[in-house]
Homo-oligomer: A and B are copies of this chain.
Amino acid sequence: MKNLTLRDIASALNISVTTVSKALKNYPDVSVKTKERVKAYAEKVNFTPNSFAAYLRTHESKTVGIVIPRLNHFFFSSILRGIITEAEKHEYMTFILCSDESYELEKTQIQRLLNKNVDGIFLSIADKTHDLTHIQNIMDKDTNLVIFDKYSKLTPCSSVVIDDRKAAYTAVEHLIKKGKKRIAHFRGPLLPQNSIDRFLGYRQALEENGIEYDKDLVFICDEINDSEGYDHMQQILDQKMDVDAIFAVADLPAVGAIKCLIENKVQIPEEIAVMGFSNWLISSLITPSLSTIDQPGELMGRKAFQVFLDERDTKKRNEPVVFQKYEIETTLIERKST
């Protein structure tokens, strides 16, 4: 059966669509008799007012949108799960769009969400985004914006992040405590803030522990995947570089490094220890299991949704929203690879 509309009811009762709409919303300028007639009929035909009607009434669409740089990514899946779980609890529906790490696509996706009148947008900024005007534009609208994970210091909104620098510091300090002194860093691309912060934490941990920073021990992983980790590791072995540990910007390059070390029969962690970042499912499943930093994605997602709700309520009370940076705690997970 086709969904009934206000128009169908109006035509069945031979009154105007406006009257039907007003009757259902209990407007005072419709007679009690007409209201009763409309409501009885609506009940009889099992009419559910659709979401558009609700939107017209409340100016809330009860929808939110998430723009993430990658689908098929364990950490982002965890965040999605956190946001969606919390959204469902509050009867919001969630659009998911992917920017594919592209600046142009990120702009388009945000515009599409604004066209859909979403009440909130959750964004993790694409690696290629070099200009933030499209993000600042959101703030001019009725839509609330919360940024998670990959943020920028220049966006005027709240963000839910981890302290990447501190977490990286903890990871490298752990390697130093294990007696490692020649620690290579497989870092992420140059632009994203979290990649910069993890690098800074690495460098700070070395320097504060009296180990000289050596730029030749830093390798860039543009895609942050396992084969980059494998290749950098192979290069270190081929060139017989003096390295006794690896700190990788994420788990996948670390897993690639472990694969390479096993194939080259290098003892882990005795000869070379390996430390990841993020605590993907895979890090506990490989042999030797991978030491890493737990980055609680689901918790970040839940927090991001709560921040959205709070700011929305604040706005409804016509109070000014104070933007904050919420830092979620990370934990060092020690496993066999260190």
A: residues with CB less than 8 A from B are 1-3, 48, 50-52, 55-56, 63, 71-74, 77-78, 80-81, 84-85, 88, 93-98, 112-117, 140-142, 226, 255-256, 258-259, 262-263, 281-282, 285-287
Q: Which one of B51, B77, B112 lies within 8 Å of A77 (CB-CB)?
A: B77
Q: In the complex, are the beta carbons of B3 and A142 less than 8 A apart?
A: yes
Q: In the complex, are the beta carbons of A88 and B80 less than 8 A apart?
A: no
**Which B residues touch A56, using CB under 8 A?**
52
Q: In the complex, are the beta carbons of B285 and A287 less than 8 A apart?
A: no
Q: Which one of B74, B141, B259 lies within 8 Å of A3 (CB-CB)?
A: B141
Chain B nearest CB: distance from A135 CB in Å? 16
**Which B residues touch A117, using CB under 8 A?**
3, 50-52
Q: With the chains together, A259 CA to B284 CA distance in Å?
A: 10
Chain B nearest CB: distance from A170 CB in Å? 25
Chain multiplicity (copies): 2
Q: Decide: A94 near B93, CB < 8 A? Known: A77-B71, A84-B71.
A: no
Q: In the complex, are the beta carbons of B98 and A96 less than 8 A apart?
A: no
- With most chain B CB atoms within 10 A of its CB, the pick from A73, A113, A258, A286 is A286
Chain B nearest CB: distance from A72 CB in Å? 5
Chain B nearest CB: distance from A269 CB in Å? 16
Q: In the complex, are the beta carbons of A262 and B287 less than 8 A apart?
A: yes
Query: Can you list 14 residue pairs at the A/B interface with Cβ under 8 Å?
Result: A2-B142, A3-B141, A48-B115, A51-B116, A52-B56, A71-B84, A72-B74, A88-B98, A255-B285, A256-B285, A259-B285, A285-B286, A286-B286, A287-B287
Q: In the complex, are the beta carbons of A96 and B97 less than 8 A apart?
A: no
Chain B nearest CB: distance from A252 CB in Å? 8
**Which B residues touch A55, using CB under 8 A?**
52
**Which B residues touch A281, using CB under 8 A?**
282
Across chains A and B, which 8 residue pairs bring their CB atoms closest together, nearest first? A71-B81, A72-B77, A262-B287, A96-B96, A282-B282, A1-B140, A51-B116, A93-B95
Given pairs A72-B74, A73-B77, A93-B113, 16 additional interface contacts (CB within 8 A) = A3-B117, A48-B115, A51-B116, A63-B95, A71-B81, A72-B77, A74-B74, A77-B77, A80-B96, A88-B97, A94-B96, A94-B97, A96-B96, A255-B285, A262-B287, A286-B287
Q: Decide: A112 near B93, CB < 8 A? Known: A141-B1, A287-B286.
A: yes
Chain B nearest CB: distance from A167 CB in Å? 22
**Which B residues touch A93, using CB under 8 A?**
95, 97, 112-113, 116
Beta-carbon nearest neighbor of A54 in chain B = B115
Q: With the chains together, A104 CA to B245 CA distance in Å?
A: 50
Q: Decide: A51 near B115, CB < 8 A? Known: A72-B78, A287-B262.
A: yes
Chain B nearest CB: distance from A144 CB in Å? 14
**Which B residues touch A282, using CB under 8 A?**
281-282, 285
Chain B nearest CB: distance from A71 CB in Å? 4
